[in-house]
Amino acid sequence: MSNSAASHGLEQWHGTTIIGVKRGDRTVLAGDGQVSMGNTVMKPNAKKVRRIGDGKVVAGFAGATADAFTLFERLERKLDQYSGQLMRAAVELAKDWRTDKYLRNLEALMIVADKDTLLVLTGNGDVLEPEGGIAAIGSGGNYALAAARALSDYETDPEKIARRAMAVAAEVCVFTNDQVTLETV
Protein backbone atom coordinates (compact mmCIF):
# COMPACT_ATOMS: atom_id res chain seq x y z
CA MET A 1 0.00 0.00 0.00
CA SER A 2 1.34 3.44 -0.81
CA ASN A 3 2.41 5.83 1.94
CA SER A 4 -0.31 8.19 0.79
CA ALA A 5 -2.99 5.54 1.21
CA ALA A 6 -1.63 4.56 4.62
CA SER A 7 -1.59 8.16 5.82
CA HIS A 8 -5.25 8.61 4.89
CA GLY A 9 -6.65 5.74 6.93
CA LEU A 10 -7.05 3.29 4.04
CA GLU A 11 -4.72 0.72 5.55
CA GLN A 12 -6.29 -1.93 7.79
CA TRP A 13 -4.94 -1.14 11.24
CA HIS A 14 -3.22 -3.91 13.12
CA GLY A 15 -3.23 -4.18 16.85
CA THR A 16 -6.69 -3.28 18.09
CA THR A 17 -10.41 -3.79 17.87
CA ILE A 18 -13.01 -1.11 18.59
CA ILE A 19 -16.75 -1.66 18.23
CA GLY A 20 -19.70 0.68 18.62
CA VAL A 21 -23.25 -0.60 19.04
CA LYS A 22 -26.29 1.71 19.15
CA ARG A 23 -29.67 0.37 20.22
CA GLY A 24 -32.51 2.72 21.13
CA ASP A 25 -31.27 5.41 23.48
CA ARG A 26 -28.04 3.55 24.46
CA THR A 27 -24.74 3.41 22.64
CA VAL A 28 -21.80 1.29 23.77
CA LEU A 29 -18.19 1.58 22.62
CA ALA A 30 -15.81 -1.25 23.51
CA GLY A 31 -12.13 -1.74 22.79
CA ASP A 32 -9.53 -4.34 23.58
CA GLY A 33 -6.40 -3.55 25.58
CA GLN A 34 -3.60 -5.11 23.57
CA VAL A 35 -0.72 -3.00 22.29
CA SER A 36 1.55 -4.92 19.94
CA MET A 37 4.88 -4.12 18.37
CA GLY A 38 5.32 -6.56 15.56
CA ASN A 39 4.64 -9.98 17.04
CA THR A 40 5.26 -8.90 20.64
CA VAL A 41 2.58 -7.84 23.08
CA MET A 42 3.92 -4.66 24.68
CA LYS A 43 0.95 -3.93 26.94
CA PRO A 44 -2.17 -5.99 27.63
CA ASN A 45 -4.40 -3.36 29.29
CA ALA A 46 -4.30 -0.12 27.28
CA LYS A 47 -7.41 2.06 27.38
CA LYS A 48 -8.42 2.79 23.77
CA VAL A 49 -11.97 3.90 24.57
CA ARG A 50 -12.59 7.01 26.67
CA ARG A 51 -15.00 9.80 27.48
CA ILE A 52 -14.40 13.25 26.03
CA GLY A 53 -16.42 16.46 25.74
CA ASP A 54 -17.38 16.77 29.41
CA GLY A 55 -18.21 13.05 29.45
CA LYS A 56 -21.06 13.34 26.93
CA VAL A 57 -19.09 11.76 24.08
CA VAL A 58 -17.26 8.44 23.97
CA ALA A 59 -14.45 7.82 21.52
CA GLY A 60 -12.31 4.85 20.54
CA PHE A 61 -9.30 4.68 18.27
CA ALA A 62 -7.33 2.29 16.16
CA GLY A 63 -3.89 3.28 14.99
CA ALA A 64 -0.93 5.18 16.33
CA THR A 65 -1.54 6.17 19.96
CA ALA A 66 0.04 9.63 19.82
CA ASP A 67 -1.94 10.39 16.68
CA ALA A 68 -5.16 9.25 18.33
CA PHE A 69 -4.55 11.50 21.35
CA THR A 70 -3.97 14.42 19.01
CA LEU A 71 -7.29 13.68 17.31
CA PHE A 72 -9.08 13.31 20.66
CA GLU A 73 -7.78 16.75 21.69
CA ARG A 74 -8.83 18.29 18.37
CA LEU A 75 -12.28 16.73 18.59
CA GLU A 76 -12.70 18.05 22.14
CA ARG A 77 -11.86 21.56 20.92
CA LYS A 78 -14.40 21.21 18.11
CA LEU A 79 -17.02 20.00 20.61
CA ASP A 80 -16.34 23.10 22.72
CA GLN A 81 -16.49 25.33 19.64
CA TYR A 82 -19.80 23.85 18.45
CA SER A 83 -21.57 23.59 21.83
CA GLY A 84 -21.27 19.81 22.11
CA GLN A 85 -22.85 19.08 18.70
CA LEU A 86 -21.03 15.86 17.81
CA MET A 87 -22.02 15.70 14.13
CA ARG A 88 -20.89 19.29 13.47
CA ALA A 89 -17.68 18.82 15.48
CA ALA A 90 -16.91 15.57 13.64
CA VAL A 91 -17.46 17.11 10.21
CA GLU A 92 -15.21 20.05 11.07
CA LEU A 93 -12.51 17.71 12.43
CA ALA A 94 -12.73 15.57 9.30
CA LYS A 95 -12.27 18.67 7.11
CA ASP A 96 -9.20 19.68 9.10
CA TRP A 97 -7.86 16.12 9.14
CA ARG A 98 -8.07 15.91 5.37
CA THR A 99 -6.70 19.35 4.52
CA ASP A 100 -4.21 20.29 7.25
CA LYS A 101 -0.64 19.24 6.36
CA TYR A 102 0.14 18.13 9.92
CA LEU A 103 -3.14 16.33 10.59
CA ARG A 104 -3.11 14.64 7.18
CA ASN A 105 -0.18 12.53 8.34
CA LEU A 106 -1.91 11.20 11.44
CA GLU A 107 -2.50 7.46 11.24
CA ALA A 108 -5.62 6.55 13.16
CA LEU A 109 -9.31 5.79 12.75
CA MET A 110 -11.95 6.74 15.29
CA ILE A 111 -15.41 5.71 16.37
CA VAL A 112 -17.23 8.44 18.30
CA ALA A 113 -20.69 8.54 19.83
CA ASP A 114 -23.03 10.62 21.92
CA LYS A 115 -26.59 9.90 23.03
CA ASP A 116 -27.92 10.47 19.49
CA THR A 117 -25.15 9.64 17.04
CA LEU A 118 -22.60 6.90 16.25
CA LEU A 119 -19.89 7.84 13.73
CA VAL A 120 -16.70 6.52 12.14
CA LEU A 121 -14.10 9.19 11.33
CA THR A 122 -11.23 8.69 8.87
CA GLY A 123 -8.32 10.70 7.55
CA ASN A 124 -10.01 10.70 4.14
CA GLY A 125 -12.46 13.23 5.46
CA ASP A 126 -15.14 10.59 5.96
CA VAL A 127 -17.79 10.97 8.63
CA LEU A 128 -19.75 7.75 8.36
CA GLU A 129 -22.96 6.90 10.20
CA PRO A 130 -23.00 3.09 10.11
CA GLU A 131 -25.89 1.05 8.79
CA GLY A 132 -27.81 -0.73 11.51
CA GLY A 133 -26.13 1.13 14.37
CA ILE A 134 -23.00 -1.07 14.42
CA ALA A 135 -19.47 0.02 13.52
CA ALA A 136 -16.07 -1.58 14.06
CA ILE A 137 -12.49 -0.65 13.24
CA GLY A 138 -9.04 -2.16 13.68
CA SER A 139 -7.46 -5.48 12.85
CA GLY A 140 -10.23 -7.41 14.58
CA GLY A 141 -12.93 -5.00 13.44
CA ASN A 142 -14.36 -7.20 10.70
CA TYR A 143 -14.68 -10.15 13.11
CA ALA A 144 -16.38 -8.01 15.75
CA LEU A 145 -18.65 -6.42 13.15
CA ALA A 146 -19.77 -9.77 11.76
CA ALA A 147 -20.42 -11.15 15.25
CA ALA A 148 -22.36 -8.05 16.31
CA ARG A 149 -24.51 -8.10 13.19
CA ALA A 150 -25.33 -11.77 13.74
CA LEU A 151 -26.18 -11.13 17.40
CA SER A 152 -28.28 -8.04 16.72
CA ASP A 153 -31.17 -10.15 15.39
CA TYR A 154 -31.43 -11.96 18.73
CA GLU A 155 -30.15 -9.51 21.33
CA THR A 156 -31.34 -5.97 22.10
CA ASP A 157 -28.84 -5.01 24.82
CA PRO A 158 -25.96 -3.11 23.12
CA GLU A 159 -23.55 -3.97 25.95
CA LYS A 160 -24.14 -7.71 25.58
CA ILE A 161 -23.71 -7.42 21.80
CA ALA A 162 -20.47 -5.43 22.14
CA ARG A 163 -18.98 -7.73 24.79
CA ARG A 164 -19.73 -10.90 22.83
CA ALA A 165 -18.48 -9.38 19.57
CA MET A 166 -15.24 -8.39 21.31
CA ALA A 167 -14.89 -11.93 22.69
CA VAL A 168 -15.26 -13.35 19.16
CA ALA A 169 -12.66 -10.91 17.81
CA ALA A 170 -10.24 -11.82 20.64
CA GLU A 171 -10.63 -15.52 19.79
CA VAL A 172 -9.85 -14.97 16.11
CA CYS A 173 -7.51 -11.96 15.81
CA VAL A 174 -4.01 -12.38 17.28
CA PHE A 175 -3.73 -8.58 17.64
CA THR A 176 -6.85 -8.38 19.87
CA ASN A 177 -7.14 -9.52 23.49
CA ASP A 178 -9.96 -9.98 25.99
CA GLN A 179 -9.07 -7.03 28.23
CA VAL A 180 -12.08 -4.90 27.24
CA THR A 181 -12.75 -1.26 28.10
CA LEU A 182 -16.40 -0.36 27.68
CA GLU A 183 -18.15 3.02 27.84
CA THR A 184 -21.88 3.71 27.50
CA VAL A 185 -23.75 6.89 26.57
Active-site annotation, residues: 16
| 3-state SS, residue 99 | helix
Distance of CA 176 to the CA centre of its chain: 14
Q: Are the beta carbons of 80 and 120 closer than 8 angstroms? A: no
- 6 is annotated as contributing to ligand binding: no
- Residue 86: which of 62, 119, 60 has the closest Cα? 119
Residue 91 gets the label, from left (phi > 0), alpha (psi -120 to 50) or beta, of alpha
- 66 is annotated as contributing to ligand binding: no
- 170 is annotated as contributing to ligand binding: yes
Q: Which residue ranges make up the annotated binding site for Na(+)?
A: 170, 173, 176
